[in-house]
Amino acid sequence: MSAPGVQTAVIGAGLAGLSAAVYLRRAGLTVRVYDPEPPGGKARTLELVPGWRIEWGPHSFTSRAYALFDLAEVLGIGDRAVRLTGAGARYLVRGGRLRGAPFGGAIRMGEGFGLLRGLFRRVEDVAGESVRAWVARRFGEAFAAGPLDAMMTGIWASDPATIEMEAAFPTVSALVRSEGTVFRALSELRRLTARLQAAGAARPAGTWGFPNGMGEVAEAARAYLGDDVLRPEAVTNLAFSSEGPGYDLTTERGVSSFQAVVVATEAPAAARLLAGLAPDAAAALGEVRYAPLAVAHWLARDAAFPRGFGYLSPANEEREVLGAIFVSDLYPDRAPPGYRAFATMIGGGRHPEDLDLHVDEVKRRLADEHLMLTGRPVAITGLHVVRHRHAVAPPALGHADRLARVHAGLPTGVFVAGSWCGAGAMDDAVRAGRAAALGIATGVHANSDPSLSLKSHVA
């Protein structure tokens, strides 16, 4: 049975799927979006008890999330985005204590010298290098094992030795190659960003968020698309259409046919859906690795952490948690009056087995960590643990080749999107969804990487 008048199906209503659907709609095409879960995917917000609102996944994004800002503008919520003024102070755990970053003790003397030397040093560029190797060759082994490791934990919950520099930081990598040194590359980046800001095309630098949570984007997308577009159904099969060109999509409610399909799920689910239709693409998708994360959301009246964004621990501190976001310092009305709200990250690539920790053990770790870092006990009055088996997909070594194999293996009219197509952040998800929509709207075969679609693959 074909879906009358509906040209494109989008599988998955995370930011990638919603973005694909919104830009398809904006291009005048009809679309239907399938997802058994509420829209937003990982970017959802829940009110646990009155006054305590938590994020299912991400809390914030940077001023360079250009695609996300663009989507917010299209959805009419661009002016809802706020720069998080409480995000100033950040901390690293060094020697079992919280130290202010960058120069409040978070970077040790020897690391500081390494950092300074590395800024001005010309180092031969190596394609396909890991973030850890790239940083260690420029700034020294100690900096790579300390501050860098903590930063990578905050972004990808993963070992920087497994992440590809060029895929993780494409702009910085390209600028270092053209400018010669990290210092000149950063100066050029600042100059380019200032020009964008002067032209009104970029927001002021910093950390940004939505006052009522990332769920604001999903709600605005739902309103833009209309409830009839969103179908609360899981797609169980995808096949070439039995009735002619196009694709048959199966859910528990039956089979519908579409001219084009955007598979916007996490990579493992995409691999399962594409196994019959595009086995080579599915095999490449199966290689995408995720870090698992348990996020403990908790409340306390008497927490003694300093104010700021939060803290991170490098692996060599051997802590039982990876770090924490001081949520109510960023968003003051996300905790009931008199309380502070925190989101503590546990597990990651460092300790994947911690994903399933019993909630009592989580509570013990939170209390021990607070005591250890502040010297004071804390009374945890609310605790809710969100467990993500596929939390973040860091762009692992071989990322570009893997992505190219996915794209090359897709039949005409089938597109993929997801944050795993880029560096694993919300902006990557939105960009991939928009690129898939652009591919469909312009009749360009494949895919979420616009440079690939422009190079060849014209239908």
Ligand X SMILES: Cc1cc2nc3c(=O)[nH]c(=O)nc-3n(C[C@H](O)[C@H](O)[C@H](O)COP(=O)(O)OP(=O)(O)OC[C@H]3O[C@@H](n4cnc5c(N)ncnc54)[C@H](O)[C@@H]3O)c2cc1C
Residues that bind ligand X (CB under 6 A): 11-17, 34-35, 37, 41-43, 57-61, 234-235, 264-266, 269, 293, 295, 388, 391-392, 418-419, 424-427, 429
Rg (the chain; Cα; Å): 22
Q: Are the CB atoms for 416 and 291 separated by under 8 Å?
A: no
Q: Minimal distance in Å, beta carbon 337 to ligand X?
A: 26
Q: Minimal distance in Å, beta carbon 56 to ligand X?
A: 8
Question: Coil, strand or helix: which one is 64?
Answer: coil
Q: Minimal distance in Å, beta carbon 9 to ligand X?
A: 10
Query: Closest CB to ligand X among 10 and 142?
Result: 10
Count H helices, E strands: the chain?
A: 17, 20
Query: Closest CB to ligand X among 12 and 409?
Result: 12
Query: Closest CB to ligand X among 16 and 163?
Result: 16
Query: Closest CB to ligand X among 138 and 388?
Result: 388
CA distance 6 to 313: 49
Query: Closest CB to ligand X among 44 and 94?
Result: 44
Q: Minimal distance in Å, beta carbon 209 to ligand X?
A: 9
Query: Closest CB to ligand X among 140 and 418?
Result: 418
What are the strands, taking DSSP E only, across 194-267?
207-209, 230-231, 235-240, 247-251, 254-258, 260-263
Angle at 327 between CA 325 and CA 329, to 5 degrees: 110
Q: Minimal distance in Å, beta carbon 281 to ligand X?
A: 16
What are the residue ranges of helices labelled H in 27-130? 66-74, 109-120
Cα separation values, 259 from 247, 255, 276, 363, 438, Å: 6, 14, 18, 50, 15
Question: Any idea of the CA torsion for 399, 404, 405, 406, to the nearest 10 degrees?
Answer: 90
Q: Are the CB atoms for 163 and 396 separated by under 8 Å?
A: yes
Query: Closest CB to ligand X among 95 and 204?
Result: 204
Q: Minimal distance in Å, beta carbon 294 to ligand X?
A: 9
Q: Minimal distance in Å, beta carbon 217 to ligand X?
A: 10
Query: Closest CB to ligand X among 147 and 395?
Result: 395
Q: Minimal distance in Å, beta carbon 205 to ligand X?
A: 16
Backbone angles phi, psi at 285, to 5 degrees: -60, -35
Query: Closest CB to ligand X among 114 and 418?
Result: 418
Tally Cβ neighbours within 10 Å of residue 204.
9
Tally Cβ neighbours within 10 Å of residue 454.
12
454, HSE (Cβ side, Cα atoms, 13 Å)? 5
Q: Minimal distance in Å, beta carbon 137 to ligand X?
A: 28
What are the strands, taking DSSP E only, across 51-135?
52-55, 61-62, 82-83, 90-94, 97-101
